[in-house]
């Protein structure tokens, strides 16, 4: 039973109204209100979902069996799929190479001064804040249709992401190796090269491999707006209601992404080591 001594010793546990509890209830209420308003404002309807399931089943039936088209059509699909992977690979690689030195300017422990640190961070935020699809639309109007616009779109989008991730990894690096190099008379460049880079390089490589896998899917989407790759073909087949060929293209994308995921996992474990069980 609760005694007066227990209440006096732990008063915070016996208060019916506390500041923390009021804040928690207020936040939960606001989130529930926002959820209900979103359902209402966006015209969310469970009935429309159920009535649309029959149409989804009809489209699914039309997609079987997958039709590769054979001959020149199949070669066109394969060429477009290779182009998609090349867009993702080149865009990711160039963005990582550019972000590697720039991230040191955005990290507190390696930046030149506070102004450079602030401007670098805001630049990365700006690049990252614009979606890859929007970058693709911008670059298509600048350099024209084709895979070059797709590569530039991925570079711009990933440069912001890599800059943020790389700079945070640099900030989290252990300072002791840097202090040891500084105590022996090492320059600032040597402190970064031998004290920080060996610590963060495995993290960088792991993040680059993950983004390469993710950008393979992104390259498919930006192809729909004309930035090259398999996305343009997929858009054409959907528009002309060639659902059997649509299913084959989707299977190609799934197999390619799965193969890249498996390969990147192998490479990632080679770099950072096998997980402990």
Regarding predicted confidence, which is higher, 155 or 273? 155
Residue 30 has pLDDT above 90, yes or no: yes
Tell me: cis bond preceding 65? Omega within 30 of 0 counts: yes
Q: Which residue has the tokens 């995921």?
A: 261
pTM: 0.77
Q: Which helix (H) or strand (E) holds 69?
A: none
Query: Which pLDDT tens digit goes with each residue over 119-136?
Result: 888 889 898 888 888 999
Domain ranges for the chain: 4-56, 77-272
How would residue 3 be classed by pLDDT, with cut points 50, 70 and 90?
Answer: low
Q: Which residues contact 237 (CB under 8 A, 6 or more apart)?
A: 243, 245, 246, 249
Cα atoms in the 13 Å half-sphere on the side-chain side of 97: 6
Dihedral (C-alpha) 109, 115, 204, 256: value to the nearest 10 degrees? 160
The fold of 77-272 is MetI-like fold (1.10.3720)
Query: Which pLDDT tens digit goes with each residue over 34-53?
Result: 998 988 888 777 778 887 78
Query: Which pLDDT tens digit goes with each residue over 147-192?
Result: 899 999 999 999 999 998 888 888 887 778 777 877 877 777 777 7
């Amino acid at each position: 039973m609760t005694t007066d001594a227990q209440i006096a010793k732990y008063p915070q546990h016996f208060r019916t109204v506390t500041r923390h509890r009021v804040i928690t209830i207020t936040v939960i209420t606001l989130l529930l209100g926002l959820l209900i308003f979103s359902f209402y404002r966006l015209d969310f309807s469970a009935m429309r979902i159920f009535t649309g399931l029959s149409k989804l089943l009809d489209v699914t039936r039309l997609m079987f069996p997958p039709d590769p088209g054979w001959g020149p059509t199949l070669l066109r699909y394969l060429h477009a799929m290779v182009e998609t992977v090349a867009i993702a690979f080149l865009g990711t690689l160039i963005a990582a190479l550019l972000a590697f030195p720039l991230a040191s300017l955005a990290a507190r422990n390696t930046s030149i001064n506070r102004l450079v640190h602030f401007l670098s961070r805001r630049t990365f935020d700006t690049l990252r804040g614009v979606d890859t699809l929007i970058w693709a639309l911008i670059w298509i109007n600048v350099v024209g249709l084709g895979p070059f616009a797709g590569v530039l779109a991925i570079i711009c989008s990933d440069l912001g992401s890599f800059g943020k991730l790389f700079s945070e990894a640099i900030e989290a690096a252990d300072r002791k190796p840097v202090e040891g190099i500084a105590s022996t008379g090492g320059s600032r460049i040597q402190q970064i090269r031998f004290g920080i880079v060996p610590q963060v390089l495995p993290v960088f490589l792991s993040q680059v491999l993950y983004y390469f896998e993710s950008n393979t899917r992104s390259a498919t989407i930006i192809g729909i707006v004309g930035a090259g790759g398999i996305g343009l073909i997929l858009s054409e087949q959907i528009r002309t209601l060639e659902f059997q060929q649509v299913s084959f293209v989707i299977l190609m994308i799934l197999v390619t992404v799965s193969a890249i995921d498996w390969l990147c996992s192998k490479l990632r474990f080679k770099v950072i080591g096998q997980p402990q069980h």
